[in-house]
Amino acid sequence: MPNMPVNMSRRQLIQSGLIGCAGLSLFSPAVLANTPASSATHGLQLASSVKTDAAGHQMLYLTNGTDYSKDAKLLPSGWRGHQVAASPDGRYLVSVARRPGTQLLVQDRQLGKHNLIDATTDRHFYGHGLFSADSQYLYCSENDYENAQGMIGVYRVDEGFKRIGEWSSQGVGPHQIAWVYAKQAAGQPPAPLLVVANGGIETHPDYPRIKLNLDTMQPNISYLDLSGQLIQQVTPPHHQLSLRHLDVAPDGQVWVGAQYQGEVHESPKLIYSHKLGEDKLTAVGADDTLWPQLKAYIASVACHDQTDTVCITAPRDNQITLWQRSSGKLIKQMSQTDCAGVCAHPTQPYYLVSGGDGTLAAYHAGTGHRLWQQTLNGVHWDNHLSWIG
Amino acid sequence: MFFSYFSTYGPDQDRHPVRATSFALPLAACFATLALSSFSSSVPADDQASFDYDAFILSNEQLQNRQMQQLIKNNQDFQHGVILACGQTISSSAAAQPLNQWGHLKELQILWKQSAQQWQKIQMFPLGPNTDTTVRLNITFWPDKKNLVERKVEGLIKQGGDVDLSLGGIAVQGLAASEYLLYDPRHLQHATVQQTCPALQAISEKSLANSQALLTRWQESEFLEHWHDAGLGNDTFASITQATGYLLAGLAQSAEIVAKDKVYKPFRLNTDQARSNVYLSENWRSGLNLDNIQQNITDIEHLYLGADGHNGPHRLLLKKGFTAEAEAIQQQLSTLKEQASQLQQMQQQAFAQTEGRALAKRFYQNLKQLEQALKKPLPSFNLAQKFNSRDGD
């Protein structure tokens, strides 16, 4: 199994793809607040799966553009992608097909070429992938659908993304994955672990997008070491809380958003945090009426390194929620139509949020105040937004 | 008193009716019906361009409420029938007989059909919480291209007397599973009453619970609250006009689903050389497949012309000057009704005969034209894009 180099920053290990800061932002929030949107977007380094009215499903990315509406690059996929994973060395972008899709769209930014990678026999993707910190391996959540088991596929980057192995995800319906960093004995470098959100829902490509086991589903969060061994597993308080999307804060706290599969009006809490070693998930401290209001559905989760906050989108209620990580308290709810993708700027205190109506907006990471927004007509941003600098 | 809520008209004639949190209450239903009657009578029958905004909202609420209550009633009757029939048989020698010799089979098939036909009357309403795929599959698992229902139901039967439906998943929750037990030719021939009754009882009980949940979900939904108050404008509907636009768009989607899943796939219209595959059709075991299609077209037309018979998208289109578009939709519906009737008269031969496939192809093409016709006026309704909220992951 691949080794994780240890000479990377902690944050790189925690979550590759949101680091590097190669694209220096030319603006601060204070500047943004008074800056016309066209210049405020300078320096954005973003990628997302999108659908365009003109050309269907594509991967969109922007690197150091001065105007994203003009400088965005589009690559057709032919299928609906979900998350775009970026290699920490900046060379690769990978759009991962959402379930039950069976392809990866790989863009080699160094060579300016792209190609498609097929899933192996009897597997399909779940829309999420993650590079190792040394950019040598790509990990993807996958479905062994004939056996209803979640898998983590391991791909060797310098061998043309050859699939070299797989691990059990320790659950059904694995979705988003991220790095966490386990403390070791004194003098030992921290050990990277893969944290997996196993949604618990059984699906089969013969019945695309049909949830086959809602009565018996058993979602969990699993921590795997680099040999694929299970280190810890925690389950949500209700068996129908499908844990899908997560992010990891700089202190190693995992923040996870759920989609409740029971009745919307009975929805339990949807946002939890967990630290390796704790015996259960900790729910945020919001009023119980919030969750049915959010239609029992969380789309994306992003932690901000520079602030004590986590930003979480709920597109079915057109709501963005901003939480204080240390207290679990709701700071602010913001409205944005069909909002789903969210990512934190790696150095500046704001989040970027994308919506299915083409809107891209920036919100202050501490207050939730909207700093600017633009709309790309004819573009529907999909579920996730990645910072690729 | 009721009229006082309608005394002021907004600039686009959208008005705010009284908030009714639950139309399950008979009093509220009667009250609203009385009000509707008053409004309907105030609309001259020959005034084709008038549109009563409030009647449109209320009549759709009431229609859906009635249809769901009727489904619950049908499922209650079915469940009672199953309990009675199984109870009378299970300790007798008839319990060991093949199902096709069971004296209660016909009466249970009739009760099942009433539930299945009632479910069709709910299917075409394209808005609200009950359009969720999982919700619909809980009522009946279809499309089922790999015959999952048979595999899962046979698994249930092997459990013996103590049936745990959760082990069968979504495929054994509803009408498709009980249809298998009551109609599948091979099952009727080889399975006994004793083998079948535990699963049939469990499924009929679950079907009843699922249909009750359908109504509760509807009544508890923010959708209904927003639909009801659409005249005020809210996060879901900017106005009753926009709500009407969403219904129009949803009916186009309903037409698309009928075209794709109920016609194109079972008749295998992707190539002229293929033969139809009746097993891909909905309710093929009970032979309701073509009846369903006919009912679906009737219901699309009903919702288009108005749940109360008058105030539907058709009149609003006329009122807004989309006369050609409205007439094209109406003409298309008229053609489709005629063709659906022809298909239905051919019964299962429609799948076997060349003539049936040719008719199905014309019907499909007309359904696609209906879909386009329903979509044509939509740009003027300013409907919001719903990409992630409608189909996220």
Enter the ipTM. 0.80
Residue B323 sits in the same domain as residue B371:
yes
Residues A96-108: tens digit of each pLDDT: 999 999 999 999 9
The minimal CB distance from B169 to the residues A212, A318, A337 is found for A212
Residue B165 sits in the same domain as residue B308:
no
d(CA B3, CA A296): 37
Residue B153 sits in the same domain as residue B286:
no
Q: What is the mean pLDDT of residues B34-61?
A: 66
Residues in chain A with CB shorter than 8 Å from the CB of B221 are: 264-265
Q: Which site among B149, B210, B387 would you substitute to test the A interface, given the most A Cβ atoms closer than 10 Å to its Cβ?
A: B387
Residues in chain B with CB shorter than 8 Å from the CB of A297 are: 389, 392
Specify if B41 maps to a domain. no
Q: Which site among A53, A259, A264 would you substitute to test the B interface, given the most B Cβ atoms closer than 10 Å to its Cβ?
A: A264
| Cα A140 to Cα A55, A60, A94, A99, A134, distances in angstroms | 26, 20, 10, 12, 16
pLDDT of residue A88: 97
pLDDT of residue B385: 72
Residues B135-175: tens digit of each pLDDT: 999 999 999 989 999 999 999 999 888 899 988 889 999 99
Nearest chain A Cα to B149, which residue?
A: A212
Question: Between chains, do B385 and A206 touch, taking CB under 8 Å as contact?
Answer: no
Question: Between chains, do B166 and A215 touch, taking CB under 8 Å as contact?
Answer: yes
Residue B268 sits in the same domain as residue B215:
no
Q: What is the mean pLDDT of residues A372-379?
A: 90
Residue B214 sits in the same domain as residue B305:
no
Residue B136 sits in the same domain as residue B270:
no
Q: How far does A338 lie from chain B, in Å, by closest CA?
A: 6
Question: Between chains, do A210 and B134 touch, taking CB under 8 Å as contact?
Answer: yes
pLDDT of residue B392: 85
Residues B254-264: tens digit of each pLDDT: 999 999 999 99
Question: Between chains, do A215 and B387 touch, taking CB under 8 Å as contact?
Answer: no
Domain assignment of residue B108, given as a range: 55-220
Specify if B74 maps to a domain. yes
Chain CA centroid to CA B367, Å = 17
The minimal CB distance from B170 to the residues A127, A211, A264 is found for A211
The minimal CB distance from A338 to the residues B166, B169, B386 is found for B386
The two structure tokens encoding residue B239? 């106005």
Instruction: Tell me if chain A has a CB within 8 Å of the CB of B217.
Output: yes
d(CA A171, CA A182): 21
Residue B307 sits in the same domain as residue B375:
yes
- Which amino acid, residue B170? I
Write out the H or E segment, with its range, that includes residue A10.
Answer: helix A10-14
pLDDT of residue A42: 64
Nearest chain B Cα to A317, which residue?
A: B389
Q: Does the pLDDT value for residue A25 go beyond 50?
A: no
The residue with tokens 């989040």 is A351
The residue with tokens 């794709």 is B260
Residues in chain B with CB shorter than 8 Å from the CB of A299 are: 388, 392
Which of A221, A15, A223 is closest to A132 using CA atoms? A15
Q: What is the mean pLDDT of residues B200-207?
A: 97
Instruction: Find the distance separating the first CA and the last CA of chain B, reported in whole Å.
Output: 47
pLDDT of residue A15: 33
Which of B107, B132, B136 is closest to B119 using CA atoms? B136
Nearest chain A Cα to B136, which residue?
A: A210
Residues in chain A with CB shorter than 8 Å from the CB of B165 are: 215
Q: How far does A328 lie from chain B, in Å, by closest CA?
A: 25
Residue B269 sits in the same domain as residue B363:
yes
pLDDT of residue A245: 98
pLDDT of residue A16: 29
CB atoms within 10 A of CB A129: 26
- Which amino acid, residue A15? Q
Radius of gyration, alpha carbons of chain B: 23
CB atoms within 10 A of CB A79: 17
What percent of chain A stands above pLDDT 70?
A: 88
Residues B46-59: tens digit of each pLDDT: 466 699 999 999 99
d(CA B196, CA B178): 10
CA angle A82, A199, A309 (to 5 degrees): 70
The minimal CB distance from A340 to the residues B144, B148, B388 is found for B388
Question: Between chains, do A357 and B384 touch, taking CB under 8 Å as contact?
Answer: yes
| Cα B130 to Cα A161, B125, B141, distances in angstroms | 42, 9, 14
Question: Between chains, do A206 and B145 touch, taking CB under 8 Å as contact?
Answer: yes
Q: How far does B152 lie from chain A, in Å, by closest CA?
A: 11
Specify if B139 maps to a domain. yes
The two structure tokens encoding residue B133? 């795929």
Question: Which residues lie across from A83 on neighbouring strands?
Answer: none
The minimal CB distance from B388 to the residues A202, A261, A338 is found for A338
Phi, psi of B189 (to 5 degrees): -80, -40
Residue A254, C-beta contacts closer than 8 angstroms, at least 6 positions apart: A178, A180, A195, A221, A246, A247, A248, A273, A274, A275, A276
Q: What is the mean pLDDT of residues A152-164?
A: 98
Residue B284 sits in the same domain as residue B188:
no
pLDDT band at B10 (very low <50, low <70, confident <90, very high): very low
**Domain finish residue from B193, B220, B247:** B220
The residue with tokens 């108050």 is B229
| Cα A376 to Cα A68, A190, A199, A358, distances in angstroms | 9, 42, 32, 5
Question: Between chains, do B393 and A98 touch, taking CB under 8 Å as contact?
Answer: yes
Residues B336-367: tens digit of each pLDDT: 999 999 999 999 999 999 999 999 999 999 99
Nearest chain A Cα to B169, which residue?
A: A213
Phi, psi of A295 (to 5 degrees): 60, 30
**Domain A13-298, classified CATH 2.130.10.10, yes or no:** yes
In chain A, where the domains are located: 13-298
Higher pLDDT, A219 or A69: A219
Question: Between chains, do B388 and A202 touch, taking CB under 8 Å as contact?
Answer: no
Write out the H or E segment, with its range, that includes residue A272.
Answer: strand A271-274
* Strands A45-52 and A56-63, sheet pairing: antiparallel
Residues A301-349: tens digit of each pLDDT: 999 999 999 999 999 999 999 999 999 999 999 999 999 999 999 999 9
Asked if residue B173 lies in contact with residue B141, where contact means CB atoms within 8 angstroms, the answer is: yes
Residues B78-128: tens digit of each pLDDT: 999 999 999 999 889 999 999 999 999 999 999 999 999 999 999 999 999
pLDDT of residue A37: 46
Asked if residue B356 lies in contact with residue B346, where contact means CB atoms within 8 angstroms, the answer is: yes
pLDDT band at A270 (very low <50, low <70, confident <90, very high): very high
Write out the H or E segment, with its range, that includes residue A360.
Answer: strand A359-364
pLDDT band at B4 (very low <50, low <70, confident <90, very high): very low
Mean pLDDT in chain A? 89
Specify if B38 maps to a domain. no
d(CA A143, CA A124): 5
Nearest chain A Cα to B133, which residue?
A: A210
Half-sphere exposure of B226 (CA within 13 A, CB side): 19
Which of B252, B257, B239, B255 is closest to B384 using CA atoms? B239
Instruction: Tell me if chain A has a CB within 8 Å of the CB of B186.
Output: no
Asked if residue B72 lies in contact with residue B208, where contact means CB atoms within 8 angstroms, the answer is: yes
pLDDT band at B273 (very low <50, low <70, confident <90, very high): confident
Q: What is the mean pLDDT of residues B271-300?
A: 96
Specify if B2 maps to a domain. no
Sign of CA pseudo-dihedral A261, A249, A7, A158: positive
Asked if residue A51 lies in contact with residue A68, where contact means CB atoms within 8 angstroms, the answer is: no
Residue B110 sits in the same domain as residue B212:
yes
Residue A100: is the preceding peptide bond cis (ω within 30°)? yes
Question: Between chains, do B393 and A210 touch, taking CB under 8 Å as contact?
Answer: no
d(CA A163, CA A161): 6
pLDDT of residue B235: 85
- Which amino acid, residue A304? H
CB-defined contacts A:B, below 8 A:
95
d(CA B254, CA B123): 8
Q: What secondary structure, in 3-state letters, does chain B show?
A: CHHHHHCCCCCCCCCCCCCCCCCCCHHHHHHHHHHHHHHHHHCCCCCCCCCCHHHHHHHHHHHHHHHHHHHHHHHHHHHHHHHHHHHHHCCCHHHHCEHHHCCCHHHHHHHHHHHHHHHHHHHCCCCCHHHCHHHHHHHCCCCCCCCHHHHHHHHHHHCCCCCCHHHHHHHHCCHHHHHHHHHCHHHHHHCEHHHHHHHHHHHHHHHHHHHHHHHHHHHHCHHHHHHHCHHHCCCCCCCHHHHHHHHHHHHHHHHHHHHHHHHHCCCCCCCCCCCCCHHHCCCCCCCCHHHHHHHHHHHHHHHHHCCCCCCCHHHHHHHCCCHHHHHHHHHHHHHHHHHHHHHHHHCCHHHHCHHHHHHHHHHHHHHHHHHHHHHCCHHHHCCCCCCCCCCCC
Residue B244 sits in the same domain as residue B211:
no
Sign of CA pseudo-dihedral B390, A216, B122, B176: positive
The residue with tokens 């086959």 is A212
Asked if residue B51 lies in contact with residue B9, where contact means CB atoms within 8 angstroms, the answer is: no
Q: Does the pLDDT value for residue B19 go beyond 60?
A: no
pLDDT band at B8 (very low <50, low <70, confident <90, very high): very low
Residue B360 sits in the same domain as residue B253:
yes
pLDDT of residue B26: 36
pLDDT of residue B293: 98
Question: Between chains, do A216 and B220 touch, taking CB under 8 Å as contact?
Answer: no
Q: How many domains does chain B have?
A: 2
Residue B143: is the preceding peptide bond cis (ω within 30°)? yes
pLDDT of residue A63: 83
Residues in chain B with CB shorter than 8 Å from the CB of A211 are: 134, 170
d(CA A352, CA A25): 13
pLDDT of residue A91: 97
Mapped onto helix, strand or coil, the DSSP state of residue A60 is: strand
pLDDT band at A154 (very low <50, low <70, confident <90, very high): very high
d(CA B217, CA B65): 11
Instruction: Find the distance separating the first CA and the last CA of chain A, reported in whole Å.
Output: 27
